[in-house]
Chain A
């Protein structure tokens, strides 16, 4: 059984730009069940600004947003 923040799926959008970053994340969220965690790896300022906002805007919970100098990590819990 997975831990509370253990991802059910990982999506890497580091090679993508808007809007494909959110498209890929959205497809990742569709592929998991409500309450499960999606782990997202992203790069650059744009996804760091937009992906947490888009996820929250569609009713999901941003569990963790971990910026770094290069690649950022985001954990999203799928909402209902």
Chain B
């Protein structure tokens, strides 16, 4: 699987002790679902694509807003379904990544506009992150996904502004945790955390489920 071209492409990953050639092959053969292509979801999908995740299932039929959004949805795609537009951008980012567009899963997650949910084959649990303004709430959640918790944490804050840095950090953190799971490493941030453009602050386990 790691031919000369891919060795060149992923050389910096192979150098990492946590990845190596075996880990990169594992990433290349993995499947990750990204549901929700707001700012954070676009960043998460970008990092996963650049890492070489073999198959990305994208789910978000909402239209690309005027002016575009994040690194994957250019303004020229305005009005097109976000998942289809993102799939086109990812194809240009990394030809190793096969993208497909899925139907939205009915559920409470759709109630929050800027939420991304990540999971995949062989990954136990999901990574759920929601952003609003300069705050992001997320975490690795085992066995269930508690939108109520992330929403409550966001509501507890005074949401204002639309600055994207928290979303970019949240998206990259979520992608990192999913890659760690693919590489069979323990999640670094289990449970919920709140990010206010500084170090993420742990806000404990979800009281509604069994997150550690």
B2 interface contact, C-beta 8 A: yes
**Which parts of A15-58 form the interface with B (CB within 8 Å)?**
19-20, 22-24, 26-27, 30, 58
Instruction: Give the chain B neighbours of A23 by CB distance below 8 A.
Output: 7, 11, 14-15
Instruction: Give the chain B neighbours of A20 by CB distance below 8 A.
Output: 7-8, 11
Q: Tally the A-B contacts, defined by beta carbons under 8 Å.
A: 24
Instruction: Give the chain B neighbours of A27 by CB distance below 8 A.
Output: 2, 7, 14, 21
- In the bound complex, how far is the Cα of B20 from the Cα of A27, in angstroms? 7
Number of interface residues, chain B, beta carbon within 8 A: 11
Point out the residue from B11, B12, B15, B20 that lies within 8 Å of A30, measured CB to CB: B20
Residues of B within 8 A of A (CB): 2, 7-8, 11-12, 14-15, 17, 20-22
CB nearest neighbor in B for A27: B21
Instruction: Give the chain A neighbours of B12 by CB distance below 8 A.
Output: 19
- In the bound complex, how far is the Cα of B14 from the Cα of A19, in angstroms? 10
Q: How far is the CB of A37 from chain B (nearest CB, A)?
A: 19
- In the bound complex, how far is the Cα of B7 from the Cα of A30, in angstroms? 14
Point out the residue from A19, A22, A26, A58 that lies within 8 Å of B21, measured CB to CB: A26
Per CB-CB distance, the 7 closest pairs between chain A and chain B, nearest first, are A27-B21, A23-B11, A30-B21, A23-B14, A30-B22, A30-B20, A19-B15
Instruction: Give the chain B neighbours of A19 by CB distance below 8 A.
Output: 11-12, 15
